[in-house]
Amino acid sequence: MPRLTVRRLLVVGATSRIAHETCRRFAAEGASFVLAARDPAKLDAVAADLLAHGAALAEPFLLDATDYDRHPALLDAAVAHLGRIDAVLVAHGLLPDQAKAERSVEAMRYAFEVNATSVLALLTPVAAYFEAERRGLIAVLSSVAGDRGRRENYVYGAAKAAVTRFLEGLRVRLAPAGVTVLTVKPGPVKTPMTAHLEQGVLFAEPEDVADRIYAAMTRGRDIVHTPSWWRPIMGVLRNLPERVFKRLGL
């Protein structure tokens, strides 16, 4: 498969460590960015860093992803600054307190809204844009947590499962238009989002995760597990019978 040309990117959740690291790889090639996130100070710092790494343009756009009325404005701003968009990378999200989400409907709903509903809402105008363009790349961070519901993180996992299923259908819909839809499935990564957790051997470095996302985006892949060992691990977990899975208590 020929290498995809990705020079103009819209990045949502641009201040996340994984998105930032991934953008650095494109910045080194002189790419241009519109960067969306909530925190203006962090957003400006990421933009400055990407310019220092070779980006031709790094335009910040303040966005709370749950502010759905702002999604069309974000897309319009990206087209205005970039001329046209080659790729959209969606990387925002939060790791909810599972115990709190089990007790609080409000906490559960908010976790699902940030991790799933806001992503699906954003992808609706993005998909229409690329379908009309008859080209482009949509890359979205889901998670291996969405491959099977687990005791310790099933609220987060359920939201990511919704994203994964949505992307599966979107991929089939947009394939005839020549649009690539990439589902990224990281395991736990050493980022500020997981800094409060005990980090064992399965925790990946964000630089390594970014390398695999960059490679998958430029090669036009459909799904990438990162690190790669999560693909066989989740293959086994997905196929375990429920009665066995319950006994494991995972």
Residues recognised as catalytic: 156
Identify the helix (H) or strand (E) that includes residue 140: strand 137-141
DSSP type of residue 68: G
Identify the helix (H) or strand (E) that includes residue 166: helix 154-174
**Alpha-carbon distance 103 to 209, whole Å?**
33
Beta bridge partners of 189: 204
Tokens of 153: 């993180």
Prior bond of 2 cis (ω within 30°): no
Ranges of beta strands (E only) in 63-102 are 87-90
Q: How far is CA 146 from the centre of its chain?
A: 13
DSSP-based three-state secondary structure for 131: helix
Tokens of 7: 């020079």
**Alpha-carbon distance 185 to 228, whole Å?**
9
Identify the helix (H) or strand (E) that includes residue 214: helix 206-219
**Alpha-carbon distance 48 to 93, whole Å?**
23
Query: Sign (positive/negative) of CA torsion 202, 221, 118, 65?
Result: positive
